Structure 1
Amino acid sequence: MNTNKYNIKGKEKLEKISKLIQEPKVVMLLTALNKTPVSVSPMTIQEIDEQGDIWFFSSKESSHFTDIEFDNKVQIIYVDNTNQTYISMYGNATHIVDKMKVVELWNSEMNNWFDDKDDSNLVLLNVNIDTAHYWNSNDKRLVSF
């Protein structure tokens, strides 16, 4: 058995994650991982960039914003039952204030959460993925990135 296909590295890792994460792009973001219970928030992925970082819009008033100020380690859980895609990702989150990036990522759905692109509570959340695991439904096996 080829065990390398169950341990993906480098550029192939980014390509695989991007391919696996299709619609829906709603994930569960877990923060305060060192506490019980952890904090959990549904979030919508806005972008996975060339470096493999995942971008979200967030509010300065959210509990995960505060959690990340104290401990930036996060977990992201992605589930797509239709395609039997299940991913668990761990990484480090950073709050980013970048008006140009906000304009680049802004979409009308964000009007449900924020007044507009200039909302004073609006912040970008960037997650740099350190490790990830997904369930390979064909082989009934966990694959690590």
Structure 2
Amino acid sequence: MGTKNLFSNEAKQKIKELAEDIDIAIMETNLGSKPSHTIPMSTKEVDDEGCIWFLSNKNSEHNSYLNSDKSIQLIYSKPSDMEFMTVYGHAFITTDRTVLEKYYGKSDDTWFDGVDDPNLTAIKVIPEDAHYWDTRHGKFASLLKMGIGALTGKKQDLGEEGDLELHSPK
């Protein structure tokens, strides 16, 4: 697997591509404690700035932790396509009506009583550090290439991994 670090707009695009393709992230809050708090969350969007958006209940445990410590870790994993990403950043909770209307969908009725639910909030994650692993070829092709490599002793192109820096290197 080759290393390809991405910067600025390329990094934002890669975060968007993987987060929206994988969709479900394990959101980790209360990072300073053991154990930390983890919960699966559905990604609503990655905006043009590379910020990742979720909907959440204002009374949830993770919202409570974010109110006292903005640090957050997101772990994305799609083993079927051999795509993975970790994102560390800071999260901000909003009840801005425009934001809630933008991200609320019919499937959210499972957790909320519509967009007017007083417990509805949105979480904006601003990435500070991210890393990805992406085979580009899917699981079957990667396993086939690993087998070829084992038989021939020659390294195979299994994809790439690297850091995702939203700001250009200094």
Q: Same fold (TM over 0.5)?
A: yes
Query: 8 Å contact 2:20–2:43 — kept in the other structure?
Result: no
> Residue 93 of structure 1: CA displacement?
0.2
Q: CA RMSD in A?
A: 1.6
Instruction: Quote the residue 2:162 is aligned against.
Output: 143
Q: Greater shift after overlay, 117-126 or 133-142?
A: 133-142
In 2, Cα distance between equivalents of 1:58 and 1:136? 28
Say if 1:136 and 1:143, in contact at 8 Å, map to a contact too. Answer: no
Distance in 1 (alpha carbons) for counterparts of 2:57 and 2:134? 34
For 1:41-91, what per-residue CA distance to the aligned partner results, in whole angstroms no more than 9, with x for missing partners? 110011110111111101111100010011100000001112100100001
Aligned twin of 1:59 = 57
Find the partner of 2:7 among 6, 9, 13.
Answer: 9
Report the structure number with the largest CA radius of gyration: 2
Query: Which one of the candidate residues 30, 33, 36 is aligned to 1:35?
Result: 33
Equivalent runs, 1:95-134 vs 2, <5 Å: 95-134=93-132
> Separation in 1 of the partners of 2:33 and 2:117?
31
- CA distance in structure 2 between the aligned counterparts of 1:51 and 1:22, rounded to whole angstroms: 14
Shift of 1:92: 0.3
TM-score, with length taken from structure 1: 0.91
Tell me the TM-score normalized by structure 2. 0.78
How much has 1:139 moved relative to structure 2?
4.4
Residue 20 of structure 1 and its aligned partner are, at CA, apart by: 2.2
1:103 CA displacement: 1.1
Stretches of structure 2 that go unaligned for 5 or more consecutive residues are 136-156, 165-170
Equivalent position of 2:140 in the other structure: none
Q: Larger % of helix: which? A: 2
Task: Tell me which moved more, 6-15 or 123-132.
Answer: 6-15
Query: Mean alpha-carbon deviation: is it higher for 97-106 or for 86-95?
Result: 97-106
The SS at the match of 1:101 is helix
